[in-house]
Structure 1
Amino acid sequence: SVATPLERSLGRIAGVSEMTSSSSLGSTRIILQFDFDRDINGAARDVQAAINAAQSLLPSGMPSRPTYRKANPSDAPIMILTLTSDTYSQGELYDFATTQLAPTISQIDGVGDVDVGGSSLPAVRVGLNPQALFNQGVSLDDVRTAVSNANVRKPQGALEDGTHRWQIQTNDELKTAAEYQPLIIHYNNGGAVRLGDVATVTDSVQDVRNAGMTNAKPAILLMIRKLPEANIIQTVDSIRAKLPELQETIPAAIDLQIAQDRSPTIRASLEEVEQTLIISVALVILVVFLFLRSGRATIIP
């Protein structure tokens, strides 16, 4: 229901040479490969237009709109940042990384893609007890309907002054396990049956199989990839220059660290090449000097 409308819309873009997609619980990833003569910025605009065209065909209950990134998925990340905390949950860290850090880092010159991993968005998980459901005479539809109705935003009223009318809306959606547990889902012999009576309700994340670790601690990973035409050293330097500003904006209880940086090995390789060139030039000059036996003749091009 998500991949098919997007694939049909994206497949109409000119210059697409290959399209692959993969779907898992709660996510769909589509990779488009364009012809070499296709301008990447023009292709990006076409991708955004295709996403907008398919929006009306996507499920209305999606937690967020589809997004796109310009990058070469075959390139390894040039830098990996980690977020850890003794106070915030993994879901809260993931939410902070996706809504605050990733968009900011994506705007740095040379950065093409910031992939956030290690967890997923916060969610309340309800583990139903079949025996308790049977004993209380509660069906799965009763639970589903009660939970759905508890998360429907409806106008709470209106104000009028004769010429104008204002609707009053409040966000009274349930957000935590503690708020869900007393939710009435059924009445049995005149008594209220609450969700906590027939289920274990816990604060968790949408995908419990997605996890990250650093130094034996749970962590959120921000995997940064560069644009195909970007210089890796310049991009890494730009990210490092931005880090102090990022660290000032995050809560004190969150620790932001660099877990991996590909630039040192590349810098070392460049230094080795420079040294090799210097030695080669020196040897050539020495050979010419020994052959000509004249310093003046040696320096004349």
Structure 2
Amino acid sequence: MAEKPDIAAPAGGFVAALIKRPILAIVVNLLIVLAGFAALNGVEVRELPDVDNPVVTVDTRYPGATPEAVDAEVTSIIEGAVALVDGVTSISSSSSRERSRVVAEFSQSVDINIAATDVKNAVSGVTGRLPEDVEEPQVVKADNDSSPIMRLTVSANAMDPGELADLVEDVVAPRIQSVDGVAQVDIYGDRRRVIRVRIMQDSLAARGLTVADVASLVQGASASAPAGRIRNATQEILIRAETPATTPEDIGRLRLNAQTRVSDVAAVEWSFADETTTARVNGKPGVGIGIVRQAQSNTVAVSKGVRVAMAILNRTLPEGVKIEVSSDDSIFIERSIEEVRLSLLLATLIVIGVIFLFLRSWRATLIPAVTIPISLLGT
């Protein structure tokens, strides 16, 4: 009786099976190449290893408050609310003049978007306990003291500083903020228009009034926004213009008493806010923008998204307004990646050249010429 043929796998296992079945070997290698290309396009590109934990910052402004008042009336309340959020591993806080900052760090397994939503909900639950003058807390999906990964400059040929500041804050910054992966947009060198009240001390004293009387009236008229600051040395009251009294004429018509208006004891006029930071573009005044990425986001991807937004803005902004990149961390990262690719290519060519030089056989050289790129893509 004839024996049945042995249909078991060839001796040697998987490698021997690939040798006996070249079509299977080709298919497996093609799958490795396809998987490598997919991973190459999808893998996160970073300058350094990913060691970022999800971080959420709550930044709150309390105009006119001392550090002690900020700590007791704002920071402690927000810190207590954030501490109850699930997944928090550590909390740090700081209180300075007019500013409260609470930073919550979460475990690696927590999604930063969910963490930010939970923190925002927790803070919303305690806003009723905060003083009336406190501005709405800002929740940022990053440590807002992190260094910007990208800096932009905005310049204009024929636009006053106030108009340029308004354009950046109302149009440019929101568009950049909407880019995926951007946590925060910091603005430098902007000088917004404000209403400045210059006290005429003699007229004020002749009517038996004080600077405090004027300040109290102005604060009442601007209850929806911080009233700015009073400087006794120069007798000036600086307020923001985003109030129910929106023009110098509105402020001037306010009555201190039945016989006296603000315009009788003070000069009220448009001016620019005090310059606390400066940005210059090619020697001319401009506005700077710093872009902070979200924790665990891709620096290169964020940079590309910002550049796309810049291109759109440059086409739609008024004539003469230009946005430029002054620094970009992704350029160094991309150059480093290009150096790695070039090194791999040169190493592969040198290996193939050495093999051919010693074996003098194109057939023998073809094997490493094919397997080395496949191995690199597969890993």
Q: TM-score range by the shorter chain?
A: 0.7 to 0.9
Per-residue CA deviations over 1:159-178 (Å, capped at 9, x if unaligned) read xxxxxxxxxxxx99222335
Secondary structure in 2 matching 1:300: helix
1:67 lines up with 2:138 in the alignment: yes
C-alpha deviation, 1:202, in angstroms: 4.4
By how many angstroms is 1:44 displaced?
Answer: 0.8
- 1:35–1:104 Cα change, 3 Å: same
In structure 2, the CA distance between the partners of 1:101 and 1:5, relative to structure 1 (3 Å rule), is farther
Structure 1 gaps of 5+ residues are 154-170
Matches within 5 A, 1:230-269: 230-252=297-319, 254-269=321-336
Instruction: Answer whether contact 1:17 1:33 (CA < 8 A) is retained.
Output: yes
Aligned identity (percent) is 31
1:147 to 218, 223, 230: 218
Q: Higher strand proportion, which one?
A: 1
The correspondence for 1:34, drawn from 84, 102, 106, is 106
Q: How many angstroms does 1:278 deviate by?
A: 1.1
- Say whether 1:103 aligns with 2:174: yes
Map of 2:354 onto structure 1 = 287
- 5 Å matches for 1:21-100? 21-25=94-98, 27-62=99-134, 64-73=135-144, 75-85=146-156, 88-100=159-171
Q: 1:145 to 1:227 in 2, by over 3 A?
A: closer
Cα offsets for 1:34-58 (capped at 9, x unmatched)? 2333331221111111221122122
CA distance in 2, matches of 1:24, 1:145: 21
**1:213 aligns to what?**
280
Distance in 1 (CA, whole Å) between partners of 2:168 and 2:307 is 17
Count of residues in Structure 1 that have an aligned counterpart in Structure 2: 278
Deviation sequence 1:213-240 (CA, Å, 0-9, x none)? 3333332222112333333233222222
What CA deviation, in whole Å up to 9, does each residue of 1:4-40 have, x standing for no partner? 3322222322314132234334x44333222333331
Indicate which of 272, 276, 282 corresponds to 2:339: 272
Aligned 1:109-188 pairs, distance under 5 A: 109-119=180-190, 122-151=193-222, 173-186=244-257
What secondary structure sits across from 1:76 in the alignment?
Answer: coil
Question: Normalized against structure 1, the TM-score is what?
Answer: 0.76
1:203 maps onto 2:270 in alignment: yes
Secondary structure class of the residue paired with 2:336: helix
- Give the Å deviation of 1:67: 1.9
Deviation at 1:92, TM superposition (A): 4.4
Shift of 1:253: 5.6
Indicate the SS of the match to 1:185.
Answer: coil
* Structure 1 stretch displaced more, 6-15 or 243-252: 243-252
Q: State TM-score, norm by structure 2.
A: 0.62
Tell me, in whole angstroms, the C-alpha distance in 2 between the residues paired with 1:95 and 1:29.
26
Q: Distance in 1 between matches of 2:167 and 2:100?
A: 21
1:3 matches 2:75: yes
Q: Which amino acid aligns with 2:93?
A: T
C-alpha separation in 1, matches of 2:297 and 2:243: 46
C-alpha distance in structure 2 between counterparts of 1:91 and 1:23, whole Å: 28
Q: Does the CA contact (< 8 Å) of 2:175 and 2:309 recur in 1? A: no
Partner of 1:165: none
Q: Is this contact kept in 2: 1:77–1:226, CA < 8 A?
A: yes
Q: CA deviation at 1:143?
A: 0.9
1:103/1:143 Cα in 2 relative to 1: closer, same or farther (>3 Å)?
same
How many Å apart are 1:71 and its aligned residue?
2.4
Report the RMSD for the aligned CA atoms in angstroms. Answer: 3.2
Structure 2: gaps of 5 or more residues: 1-72, 225-241, 369-379
**Residues 135 and 209 (structure 1), Cα distance of their counterparts in 2 relative to 1, 3 Å cut:** farther
Considering only CA atoms, is the larger Rg found in Structure 1 or Structure 2? Answer: 2
| Deviation of 1:136 (Å) | 3.2
Contact 2:186 2:290 in 1 (8 A): yes
Cα distance in 2 for residues equivalent to 1:31 and 1:230: 18
Alpha-carbon displacement from aligned partner over 1:129-169 (angstroms, at most 9, x marks no partner): 5454333321234213332444469xxxxxxxxxxxxxxxx
- Amino acid aligned to 2:120: Q
